[in-house]
Amino acid sequence: MGIKDALLKAYDVHYKKFMVFSFLLLLVCIISLGVSYARTGELFQKGVSLKGGITMTIPVDQSVDIHSLESSLSSRYPSADIGVREITEAGVSTAIIVEASDISVEDLQSALPELGIALEEGKYSIESMGSSLGQRFFSQTIKSLIYAFIFMAIVVFLTFRSIIPSSFVILAAVSDIISTLAVINLLGMKMSTAGIAALLMLIGYSVDTDILLTTKVLKRKGEGGTVFQRTASALRTGLTMTITALVASIIGLIFTQSDIIRQIMTITTIGLIFDIIYTWFQNAGILRWYMERKNGN
Amino acid sequence: MEIKRMLTNFRVIILLICLVLGLFAINPRPWNEGVAIKSIARNSSAELGGFENPKANLAPMARERIIAMNNKPVVDLEDYFALTSKLEPNQTVQIKTNKGSYRLVAKPKFLVTELNETEIIFVNETVEVNETINGTLVLFNKTITRELEQPKILTEIIGIEPLGFSVDNAPKSNLRKGLDLQGGTRVLLKPAEEVSSETMSLMIDSLKERLNVYGLGDIVVTEVSDSPAFLGGGNRFILVEIAGATEDEVRDLLGKQGKFEARIGNASVFKGGNDVTYVCRTAQCSGLDPNRGCGQSQEGWGCSFMFSITLSPEAAQRQADLTDNLFVSGDTLSEQLVLYLDDQEVDRLSIAADLKGRAVTDIAITGGGQGASEQAAMEDALKNMKRLQTILITGSLPVKINVERIDNISPTLGKEFLSNAVYVGLFALLAVAIVLMLVYRKVVIAFPIIFTAISEIFLTLAMAALIGWNIDLAAIAGIILAIGTGVNDQVVITDEAIRRESDDAYNWKERIKRAFFIIFSAYLTIVVAMLPLLFAGAGLLKGFAITTILAVTIGVLITRPAYAAIVQMLLEK
């Protein structure tokens, strides 16, 4: 109990420092995204499902040198944008994924067997999408992300009927998404439509701890206790929530075989970690500061 | 006592009733045997034997299953293929299904080869003759036998035609697996220009017809749009989903507008669809072209095909009028009949001199195929023939369509994904249970949380089975999300319940009410965040959004209240 109490005490005494830390973190993430945007013109790297191209999933029974495969494919088709990834299940590779833009399915189908990747009829999958459709998908998914935010904001405002605490909740969700995007970008992960879906999932996960916190602090003044005591009570519940979600998401990340689920799990894992920071450092801090100022103590 | 109180609680009873109803909806039969009939080919032995093509939206368990063939049991696909491979031409096949018994006759498969020699055959012909009988000139019909010399044709039986069933292993439940879990082809098509709703449904019908004529029954063709109708509709697409392994040419068939036209000079003689009343598809009048055959060129091999069609009288008259103006040069006429498919030339035919000005309704359509070897060229020619025949029968689409996206998912990969997803899910649940036991230091708390989570998965699947929704990877992701928020909500409820012991300011009802305030707000944010996704990406993310909304709704309305009741009783002692 000693460590726990010490941590709680530090959290109580230094909450403003933690709050400043969370804002600095947000600033760093915004700068990182901004730099990448200035350099590439995009907020994140788009996978073929958002820009058009071919995805081939080929099962393999032994480990394949994906880097040499990628470089031989790229040297063979210099104008194409080719990436090779590997799907592993608990460390054992089970399939490779070739993602390529500006190349025809036939070229890819003829090149792979020559590089030692056997293509057995019916055993591998090909997904191919036109680039105009990819562009459209991209702009639509971005739009749906923005709409989702607006709708979420309306629900939050209706829930608390109080503009300032509601905007703290929304700020926390926005910070969470921005920081997650920044990390995805640093990892060089190519976003697919599933990735956008994961960001939407994240809005849900991020907001529910913030709603929990704000409800406890705002709506339960009658329960007595200081703002901090009510925050601490919410903290226990909220951390249990986030940690169970995090554990499930990490397990999914390690053991899944599907590329789609893997991307979703990677994004939720990153996002949930940020959620802890933005809920309990940023939102809790700013809310406490606001409440204490308002109540004049 | 505890158990009895729990089982008589109103909220728990509702959950239990829903679970039982869900069991009926899913209808699991893990030991179901036989092969399920997915579709019946036209004019096949199966159709002639009385089988009917099942509707595409039939619940999996409602499909007819073949359970025995010639009194031998059919347990799975392997049995089915083993038994059908042993059938002899013209053999009577007894088929027993779960709904009745049928008798089919296995149609023999012929190989028709035209030999390089001729034979004399005798044909009976009826001719009108004038004869004087008893001093009167009368006109009457007389049958005479004529001698004809024609190329010798060798007809061999080379096995049997397929019975015409498209089958799959017997379903074990009413759950439908989506394309990415069972394998198959998904094609997203977009009309090249703006079309009205009527045109769109016309195109959908015509594509369905095309695939059916081609021999595929188990297909789904739907219209999707990337913006809701009340916001103007946005871009409209046609989504075609074909389950199982699909041949390449099916995809060719979908992307074609299918505008077939035969022209002489610049004038149109006939088009696919209404001008063509019959297209021969049997071995007797369609196949490799015996007159042209296969030949080798610098690029490889090339083969020709031909099949006969019957023109409508109007089209035949058009041809007569057009050929009437042509000159005879040698054996043929001065202009050729040129065949176009989607404005690309397929073949050109010389017109025999004696056809000048005649309204012939029976004509032969030809074309070719290429390949690296003679065998490959033959196969290519026959594929092209089948495609052309299909297009001629079903006619052209009103506007051009573009293939925007093709996904071809291997059935074996899909199967692996599914089993993997199931065990990852179970593993994750187990880990969550362990975390919760550690947090609450009460083993008993983890059970209702896990039980509720599993009930939620089960009820979501049952709902999907009920409304005919496909479970695909996106849906699994949605279920994961919903279960995650479900566990979160249960943590909120549990914490409220536990805190009661230390703080008695509020009664139980008040606490649960406040827990549900948080739960409902979180629920609403998830639902509204998912709404835009219903339409983005031409509906391809719809599965994710719908499953999530479905699962969290079931959670909030059914399982969460039951969980609250169970926890209350568990902690009250």
- Under the phi-then-psi rule, with left for phi > 0, alpha for psi from -120 to 50, and beta for the rest, what region is A113? alpha
Task: Name the residue with higher pLDDT: A290 or B364.
Answer: A290
User: pLDDT tier at B32 (50, 70, 90 boundaries)?
Assistant: confident
Q: Determine whether the interchain pair A204/B522 forms a contact, defined as Cβ–Cβ distance below 8 Å.
A: yes
- Cβ-proximal residues to A124 (8 Å cutoff; 6+ apart), any chain: A56, A57, A58, A59, B410, B413
Q: Determine whether the interchain pair B532/A147 forms a contact, defined as Cβ–Cβ distance below 8 Å.
A: yes
Rounded CA separation A109/A25 (Å): 46
Residue B415 has pLDDT above 70, yes or no: yes
Q: What are the start and end residues of each CATH 1.20.1640.10 domain in chain A?
A: 2-46+132-295
Residue B572 has pLDDT above 90, yes or no: no
**B529 to chain A, minimum CA–CA distance in Å?**
4
Rounded CA separation B337/B28 (Å): 60
Domains contained in chain B, CATH given = 2-28+413-572 (1.20.1640.10), 35-107+161-166 (2.30.42.10), 112-155 (no CATH), 260-396 (no CATH)
Q: Does B420 touch chain A (CB under 8 A)?
A: yes
Burial B493-508 (b: 16+ CB within 10 A, else e): bbbbbbbbeeeeebee
Q: What's the average model confidence in pLDDT over A135-143?
A: 79
pLDDT of residue B303: 84
Span A116-127, pLDDT tens digits: 777 777 678 888
Q: What angle do CA A101, A106, A110 make, to 5 degrees?
A: 110
User: pLDDT tier at A62 (50, 70, 90 boundaries)?
Assistant: confident
Task: Name the residue with higher pLDDT: A62 or A163.
Answer: A163
| Other beta carbons less than 10 A from residue B130's beta carbon | 8
**A205 to chain B, minimum CA–CA distance in Å?**
7
Q: Determine whether the interchain pair B521/A255 forms a contact, defined as Cβ–Cβ distance below 8 Å.
A: no
Whether the CB-CB separation of B489 and B519 falls below 8 Å is answered with: yes
- Length of chain B (residues): 573
Q: What's the average model confidence in pLDDT over B69-85?
A: 86
Q: Which residue of A has its CA nearest to B180?
A: A125
Q: Which residue of A has its CA nearest to B514?
A: A215
Residue B155 has pLDDT above 90, yes or no: no
Span B326-378, pLDDT tens digits: 888 777 788 888 888 888 887 777 777 777 878 788 888 878 888 888 788 88
Q: Determine whether the interchain pair A241/B538 forms a contact, defined as Cβ–Cβ distance below 8 Å.
A: no
Q: For an interface test with B, give the residue of A128, A143, A144, A174 to mutate (most B CBs within 10 A).
A: A144
Q: What's the average model confidence in pLDDT over B171-176?
A: 84
User: pLDDT tier at A168 (50, 70, 90 boundaries)?
Assistant: very high
Strands B236-243 vs B286-288: parallel, antiparallel or unpaired: unpaired
User: pLDDT tier at B150 (50, 70, 90 boundaries)?
Assistant: low
Q: Give which of A297, A42, A296 is closest to A185, Cα–Cα.
A: A42
Q: What's the average model confidence in pLDDT over A4-30?
A: 90
Q: Determine whether the interchain pair B514/A194 forms a contact, defined as Cβ–Cβ distance below 8 Å.
A: no
**Smallest Cβ distance to A155: which of B423, B488, B524?**
B524
**Smallest Cβ distance to A248: which of B432, B505, B514?**
B432
pLDDT of residue A180: 95
Q: What's the average model confidence in pLDDT over B189-196?
A: 84
Q: Determine whether the interchain pair A219/B503 forms a contact, defined as Cβ–Cβ distance below 8 Å.
A: no
Residue B413 has pLDDT above 90, yes or no: no
pLDDT of residue A26: 95
Whether the CB-CB separation of A90 and A254 falls below 8 Å is answered with: yes
Rounded CA separation B394/B213 (Å): 8
| B residues 477-506 lying closer than 8 A (beta carbon) to A | 477, 480-481, 483-485, 487-488, 491-492, 495, 499, 503, 505-506
Q: Determine whether the interchain pair B531/A147 forms a contact, defined as Cβ–Cβ distance below 8 Å.
A: yes
Which stretch of B69-83, B414-428, B443-457 has the lowest confidence by average pLDDT?
B414-428
pLDDT of residue B559: 92
- Angle, helices B411-440 vs A227-255, to 10°: value is 150
pLDDT of residue B327: 81
Task: Name the residue with higher pLDDT: A72 or B3.
Answer: A72
Quote the mean pLDDT of chain B.
Answer: 80
pLDDT of residue B556: 92
Q: What's the average model confidence in pLDDT over B480-499?
A: 84
Q: Determine whether the interchain pair B428/A247 forms a contact, defined as Cβ–Cβ distance below 8 Å.
A: yes
**B407 to chain A, minimum CA–CA distance in Å?**
4
| Amino acid at position B386, single letter | K
Q: For an interface test with A, give the residue of B182, B438, B488 to mutate (most A CBs within 10 A).
A: B488
Q: Which CATH class is domain A2-46+132-295?
A: mainly alpha
User: pLDDT tier at B129 (50, 70, 90 boundaries)?
Assistant: low
Residue B142 has pLDDT above 60, yes or no: yes
First-last CA distance in chain B: 11
Q: The sheet that has A125-129: what strands, in order across it?
A: A81-89, A92-101, A53-59, A125-129, B401-409, B184-191, B236-243, B219-225
With a threshold of 0.90, tell me whether the complex ipTM lies above it. Answer: no
Q: Give which of B105, B110, B101 is closest to B44, Cα–Cα.
A: B105
**A77 to chain B, minimum CA–CA distance in Å?**
22
| Amino acid at position B70, single letter | N
Residue B546 has pLDDT above 60, yes or no: yes
Q: Determine whether the interchain pair B405/A128 forms a contact, defined as Cβ–Cβ distance below 8 Å.
A: yes
Q: For an interface test with B, give the residue of A128, A201, A216, A268 to mutate (most B CBs within 10 A).
A: A201
- Under the phi-then-psi rule, with left for phi > 0, alpha for psi from -120 to 50, and beta for the rest, what region is B43? left
Rounded CA separation A286/A20 (Å): 10
Whether the CB-CB separation of A205 and A245 falls below 8 Å is answered with: yes
B451 token code pair: 């039980």
**B414 to chain A, minimum CA–CA distance in Å?**
9
User: pLDDT tier at A223 (50, 70, 90 boundaries)?
Assistant: low
Q: What's the average model confidence in pLDDT over B382-405?
A: 80
Residues of A in contact with B432 (CB under 8 A): 244, 247-248
Residues of B in contact with A126 (CB under 8 A): 406-408
User: pLDDT tier at B455 (50, 70, 90 boundaries)?
Assistant: very high
Span A19-49, pLDDT tens digits: 999 999 999 999 999 998 898 888 888 887 7
Residue A1 has pLDDT above 60, yes or no: no
pLDDT of residue A224: 64
- Is residue B234 classed exposed, middle or buried when 0-12, 13-18 and 19+ CB atoms within 10 A define those classes? middle
Q: What's the average model confidence in pLDDT over A234-252?
A: 89
Residue A172 has pLDDT above 60, yes or no: yes
Residue B158, classed as helix, strand or coil, is strand
Task: Name the residue with higher pLDDT: A152 or B295.
Answer: A152
pLDDT of residue B246: 61
**Smallest Cβ distance to B405: which of A130, A148, A208?**
A130
Q: Determine whether the interchain pair A257/B538 forms a contact, defined as Cβ–Cβ distance below 8 Å.
A: no
Q: What's the average model confidence in pLDDT over B484-499?
A: 85
**B503 to chain A, minimum CA–CA distance in Å?**
9
Whether the CB-CB separation of B413 and A245 falls below 8 Å is answered with: no
pLDDT of residue A154: 92
Residue B123 has pLDDT above 70, yes or no: no
* Percent of chain B with pLDDT strictly greater than 70: 87
Residues of B in contact with A194 (CB under 8 A): 474, 477
Task: Name the residue with higher pLDDT: B386 or B118.
Answer: B386
First-last CA distance in chain A: 29
- Length of chain A (residues): 297
B492 token code pair: 């909120």
Q: How many CB pairs under 8 A join A and B?
A: 219
Q: Does B446 touch chain A (CB under 8 A)?
A: no
Span B345-356, pLDDT tens digits: 877 777 777 778
Residue B501 has pLDDT above 90, yes or no: no
Q: What's the average model confidence in pLDDT over B412-439?
A: 84
Q: What's the average model confidence in pLDDT over B413-429?
A: 82
Which stretch of A50-64, A229-243, B31-45, B207-221 has the lowest confidence by average pLDDT?
B207-221
Q: What's the pTM value of the predicted model, to 2 decimals? A: 0.78
Q: Give which of B315, B298, B421 is closest to B363, Cα–Cα.
A: B315
Span A74-109, pLDDT tens digits: 888 887 788 888 877 667 777 888 888 878 877 888
Strand ranges in B246-293 using DSSP code E only, listed in sequence order: 260-264, 267-271, 276-279, 286-288
**B454 to chain A, minimum CA–CA distance in Å?**
14
pLDDT of residue B130: 67
